Amino acid sequence: MRSVAACPVSGHDPGGIDDFSGYSGVGDYAHANGNTLPVLTAAHRVRDGLHDALPPAPSPDENVETYDLVIVGGGLTGLMAAKEYQALTGGRRRCLILDNHPIFGGEARQNEFIVGDTHLLGPQGSNDFLAPKPDADTPIGALFRECGIPYEYNLQSWDSSLKKLRFSLDNYSNMDGFNEKQVDVAYRFETRDGAAQPSWATNIWQDDLVRTPFSPEAKESLLRWRRGEGARHADDPHMLDRIDYRTYLETICGYCPEVTAFHQPVVGLLGGVSADAISARCGMHLVTHSDRMTYSFPGGNALLGRYLAAQLIPGLFPGGLSFSAMQRGRIDPTRLDGEGPVRIRQNATVVSVRHRSDDPVSGIVDVAYASAGCIRYVRARAVIMATGGWITKHVVRDLPAAMRTAYDGFTYAPALVANVALKNWRFLYRLNATAARWMDDGTMFGFSANIRQSIVTPDYNPPLHPDQPIILTFYMGLYTPGLSAWEQGARGRMRLLSTSYTEYERIIRSQMAAMFAEVGFDPARDIDGIILNRWGHARVIQTPGFYYGLNGQPPGREIVAKGFGRIAIAHAELDGAQNYTGAFRHGVRAAREVASWS
């Protein structure tokens, strides 16, 4: 292919470490920790209009690759869309996946450390799952059957001579404290929280909060909330979608503001904004009452992406496709963009998608992407945008006005996931806990952290012992109560993107020292490495009306999902939350739409 424009594109060299991306670990996902500086720079060139002057199509004499389907985005949605499309078309159609990262997977990627002689895997973002039933007629059910993924798992063994502790199996179950029947959580209370002196209290719900510094009124209200007493209209999602979550908690249910404050960090992380800016329908779904704990693969849902890619590209994993081998087996990168019917092209930032002559019935879609410092074109009979709306609205050049207006109503929030490789976790053991939670006052790094009891295989079986290495994971939302959802998202991204790796590392080390020094923690001695995974648009924010619409108008997500012409829209955000179930569902839907056009 010949370069159409000599437009220099920064941000596609996967090598090197900068003070934004920071240390990125080892293995297939080294230099692919979250939105790295190269990926971010390339995407912001699109946002800022630096590719707007591109020719709408390649010149007539341009030697342009042609595909039956181009999929923009190599996350779980794009990979599942390719799988379904190949199944529907008998594997005879040519499909190209263009992905802007050094490796596929989207937010379902993993971090890898080697601490001494111990290999450790941790998720960059997406991590929890429930194994489907063997006969489940769902995309994930089919994936499990086709790939031989087991339904039951062996976990790291715990030495019976040690005191009994309960571990989360993922990185979410410990967050709201509702799973104290299954996870031991130590809560940190400072003087600003009303404590006489900084102190720890483990499993505060088991004795009805008597060891907490909350006022009697707050304790009574928190206990009512936790038991579900006073909850109203839980069976009316349409009503809940019309109001904000803070109004629901404090006005409709009558809980005191301390309930909102206690649950706010969970809402701010998983919902993206404060309780006064998110719909009650979303907030209600963030309260966990289930006794069933979700699992996490060692590297989170990266394993699902790896299996999908392995189905699309034979030979991608030379070490074999067994469940054990796939946890750590290395990818053969030469296979990704090979000669098969499905190709995955990494470090390719799509900058323009449009129908030929801006005519949706032309039957041709021109796609331009930036790679290795040049702009290149491919031609497709159909395109699936398996990307988020924050970039789709900039990339699809002939987007209809109604869809553009709908996209303008979407707001997004960032999140930061930090995996801290520890040489030991004796400090948590002394607290009789495997997770910690603190009262976020807006100055802290996150609000909780935990270690997992990991799934093990013959190829991955690190020790579980307080004197052995492990990964401590922090999930951090970046929200500002009192502002609009859009303002909170914008301000949170500014914080996320303007803070260097060095500064975040300093904050994490200092905060851990301040909280855990009294139980023997020393950051200089006990931390081996820190990987930051920055996600600028981790959550689509479910503002009131997001799910069902307001004032008799359809919700924007329904307008967007219709697509137009030969362009299908697929992303988990159309369900209101980015997760593997929505990614698989919309990937399958879009593939079926495209296959029906042939």
Residue 129 identity:
F
Q: Count the neighbouring beta carbons within 10 Å of the beta carbon of residue 280.
A: 27
Q: What angle do CA 345, 346, 351 make, to 5 degrees?
A: 85
Report how far residue 279's alpha carbon sits from residue 257's, in angstroms, rounded to the nearest whole number.
Answer: 17
Q: Which amino acid is at 245?
A: Y
Classify domain 64-107+300-410+550-596 by CATH number: 3.50.50.60
Q: Which amino acid is at 123?
A: P
Using only the alpha carbons of the chain, give its radius of gyration: 24
Give the residue from 284, 227, 213 showing the smallest Cα distance to 252. Answer: 284
pLDDT of residue 178: 64
- Predicted TM-score (pTM) of the model is 0.94
What's the first-to-final CA gap in the chain, in angstroms? 27
Q: Which of 198, 180, 181, 201 is nearest to 190 (CA)?
A: 198
Residues 6+ apart with CB under 8 A from 40: 11, 20, 497, 536
Short-list 477, 534, 473, CA closest to 508: 473
Strands 383-385 and 567-569: parallel
Q: What is the pLDDT of residue 7?
A: 28
Over the chain (598 residues), the average pLDDT of each successive run of 10 is: 28 59 96 96 93 83 90 98 97 96 97 97 94 96 96 96 95 79 93 95 95 97 92 89 97 96 94 96 82 88 98 96 94 95 98 94 95 94 96 96 95 97 98 95 90 96 98 96 97 97 97 97 98 97 95 93 96 90 96 93
∠ Cα 108 113 118 (to 5°)? 125
Only one residue has tokens 């799952």, namely 129
Structure tokens at 47: 């946002």
CA 205 to CA 200: how far, in whole Å?
14
- How far is the CA of 134 from the CAs of 83, 145, 148, 206, in angstroms? 20, 7, 10, 36
Q: Closest by alpha carbon to 66, among 383, 379, 384, 381?
A: 379
Structure tokens at 229: 């007493």
